Amino acid sequence: MTRAGVLTVLLLLTGCQHANRPAASGPTPLVPDVGTPSSVATARITSTRGLLLPIEKYDATAAERNVVADAITVAVRGCMAGFGLGWSPAPVRYRTPAPQLARAYGVADPATAASLGYHAEAGGSAPTSPADQQLTPDQLTVYAGARDHSGMPTAATFHGKKVPAGGCAERGLATIVGDPTLDPDSAADQILISMGARARKDARVEAAIASWSRCMARAGYSYADPLEAAARATAPGPKPTAAEIRTAVTDIGCKNRVNLLGTWYAVDAGYERLAIQQDAEQLAAVRSAWRAAVLKAASLLGRPAPPAG
């Protein structure tokens, strides 16, 4: 998470938590050397519905994010009031995000394939953030603060009163979270993405994908891997076509025939466990700092703290 006043608050309130794992065709992240899981227990998996990756237990929960967002709103509003300005943002509400495995391996549930093809299940829209509101020039000056030529917070005044560096937005964030750069999912997301890239190149996963591709070819489809199938076969528009559904149903059928889901998940989880063991101290430190912010937020609001994720 970048330390940049309004942007920092915006990222915290609107979800620097999961963007789902990037497709394999995207830029390859730096992959730390954690070794290779020599053996993994490969169960037969026909759907990833309800299945979580090991790293997901380190993610901030929607309830935690909501209480922190509410407390930041109170802190920012108090700061703005100190300059004689009102501030009434739209409420921020998080929903529990879709599990990472919902689309990490392409379509991964027979019922979803048969009804939606490669289209995603309907979900909530991104929460509205304070930065989406129309602010007056005076409000913006105090909310965001001033920036120097490099974009870093710098001194500013409003009617003779000093505006905090980064404005009330960053002051409110720091009041609740402490370190404005804290991203509760940063360490977990790094493991999620980097180990996902590592698992994709593992010989066991590559062999299972090759078997899946041959199965698809026998059904008349030419795809190198499931993510290519999802990218190419998804029809434009909000609803799947009959052809898309046929492709997706064949896709999940081939996955199940060669146990691609079971193999990919087992290898993916194996790499994650190695990374979690290696980065246990960093994960614990991030989680401890975030939990302290959650407890502080709940105390300020006079609410019970939500349970830890």
Count CA within 13 A, CB hemisphere, residue 38. Answer: 0
Is 27 domain-assigned? no
- Report the C-alpha gap between 300 and 284 in whole angstroms: 24
Query: Residue 114: CB partners within 8 Å, gap ≥ 6?
Result: 245, 248, 249
Is 34 domain-assigned? no
CB 306 within 8 A of CB 61: yes
DSSP annotation string for 134-194: ---HHHHHHHH-EE-TTS-EE-EEETTEEEPTTHHHHHHHHHHHSSTT--TTHHHHHHHHH
Predicted confidence at residue 89, as pLDDT, reads: 83
Number of domains in the chain: 1
Is 26 domain-assigned? no
Nearest residue to 55 (alpha-carbon basis) of 279, 260, 263: 279
Predicted confidence at residue 284, as pLDDT, reads: 93
CB 173 within 8 A of CB 9: yes
Is 306 domain-assigned? no
Compute mean pLDDT per 10 residues along the chain, 309 residues long, and list them: 36 39 40 75 90 92 92 94 90 79 91 94 53 78 86 84 91 90 88 93 96 98 97 94 98 97 96 93 92 96 91
Is 1 domain-assigned? no
Rounded to whole angstroms, what are the CA distances from 1 to 59, 83, 122, 123? 15, 28, 28, 25
Residues facing 106 on adjacent strands: 104
Is 33 domain-assigned? no
What's the domain range around 175?
6-21+43-301
Is 38 domain-assigned? no
Predicted confidence at residue 122, as pLDDT, reads: 61
Predicted confidence at residue 29, as pLDDT, reads: 45
